[in-house]
């Protein structure tokens, strides 16, 4: 097994220490950081995303994988920054106002980071102004909003309306998700995309950026 495959395997297994050591060894042997990221860490995460999507893997296992991915990324990221390596895109995420549930949103962040996106996580109970400030500050390609409660999902529409009022709607694409969210609801409120799970969110984001 080559180094890249070894890294990918450790990521898939959620072995943080082994992933970190394999990345360290790869870099010491002169493997380019970009290839370590793409053929090692991201390749491992892609397998995990596919297994999660098809129901063969579960959230606790994905969280362990995220730990392994993070352990490897900590070594690779400074090198990528130094080499001006461009992420696939930038996504701002948040759970909407009044909603403290974050596990789905965090999972989307894990999957997007694992696929090579730069993610800014605003956390939970995110009010409209905080989304607006993040758009002005971070200049993301996409904002993603999450809600678990039927009583809080309505705030997604409010955010989209304020984006229109502030002439920001054309600057960013909007995706929404969460247990009570449906494709119809996403269309009704004027979102650009809907993802039923975290792995699908990556596909939706890639599609939106391809068509931007």
Partner 1 sequence: MTAFRRKKADRVPVCPDISVMVPAKRTGRPFYELFLDGSDHTGWTSETYTKVYVDTVKYFGMDGWYVYGGLKEIRPPDAPEFIDTIETVQDGKLVKRICHTRLGDLTEEEMFFADEPPWKETKPVKDLKEDFKKLKLWMGTGPWKYEATFRDRDRIGNLGVYSPVVPVFQDWWFNLRHGGFERCFMDFHEEEEFMEEVHELYLEWALAYVRALAKAHPDEVMFGGSSASLSISSPALFRKYELPLLQQAAKICHEEGVLAHLHVCGRSWELVEIVAEETDIDVMEPMEEPPGGNVDIAEAKRRFGNKLCIKGNINTFDFMLNATPEQVKEKCRRLIDAAAADGGFVLSTGDQCGRDTPHENIFAMVEVAETYGRY
Q: Which of 103, 133, 137, 187 binds partner 1 (CB under 8 A)?
A: 103
Measured CA distances, 137 to 84, 120, 130 (Å): 20, 11, 10
Residue 38 in contact with partner 1, rule: CB under 8 A: no
Rounded to whole angstroms, the Cα distance separating 142 from 108 reads 13
Which range touches partner 1 (CB under 8 A), out of 77-85, 133-141, 157-165, 176-184?
176-184
CB 182, min distance to partner 1, A: 6
CB 148, min distance to partner 1, A: 9
Q: Which of 182, 187, 207, 212 binds partner 1 (CB under 8 A)?
A: 182
Residues 51-90, mask of contacts with partner 1 (x by CB under 8 A) = ----x--xxxx-xx--x-----------------------
Q: Which of 9, 12, 95, 106 binds partner 1 (CB under 8 A)?
A: 106
Report the residue number, 9 or 106, with the smaller CB distance to partner 1: 106
Residues 7-36, mask of contacts with partner 1 (x by CB under 8 A) = -------x----------------------
CB 46, min distance to partner 1, A: 20
Q: Is 45 left (phi over 0), alpha (psi -120 to 50) or beta?
A: alpha
Number of residues that bind partner 1 (CB under 8 A): 22
Report the residue number, 151 or 165, with the smaller CB distance to partner 1: 151
- Please give the residue ranges that form the binding site for partner 1 (CB under 8 A): 14, 55, 58-61, 63-64, 67, 98, 100, 102-103, 106, 149-152, 179-180, 182, 196
């Amino acid at each position: 097994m080559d180094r890249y495959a070894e890294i990918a395997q450790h990521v898939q297994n959620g072995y943080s220490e082994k992933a970190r050591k394999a990345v360290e060894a790869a870099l010491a042997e002169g493997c380019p950081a970009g290839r370590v990221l793409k053929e090692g860490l991201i390749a491992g995460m892609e397998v995990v995303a596919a297994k999660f999507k098809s129901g063969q893997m579960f959230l606790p296992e994905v969280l362990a994988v995220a730990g392994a991915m993070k352990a490897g990324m900590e070594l690779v990221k400074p090198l990528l920054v130094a080499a001006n390596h461009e992420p696939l895109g930038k996504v701002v995420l948040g759970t909407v106002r009044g909603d403290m549930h974050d596990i789905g949103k965090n999972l989307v962040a894990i999957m997007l980071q694992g696929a090579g996106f730069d993610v800014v996580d605003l956390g939970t109970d995110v009010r409209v102004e905080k989304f607006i400030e993040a758009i002005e500050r971070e200049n993301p390609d996409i904002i993603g909003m999450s809600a678990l409660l039927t009583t809080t999902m309505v705030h997604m529409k409010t955010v989209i309306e304020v984006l229109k009022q502030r002439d920001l709607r054309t600057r960013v694409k909007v995706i929404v998700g969460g247990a009570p969210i449906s494709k119809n609801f996403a269309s009704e409120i004027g979102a650009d995309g809907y993802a039923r799970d975290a792995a699908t969110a990556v596909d939706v984001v890639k599609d939106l950026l391809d068509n931007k």
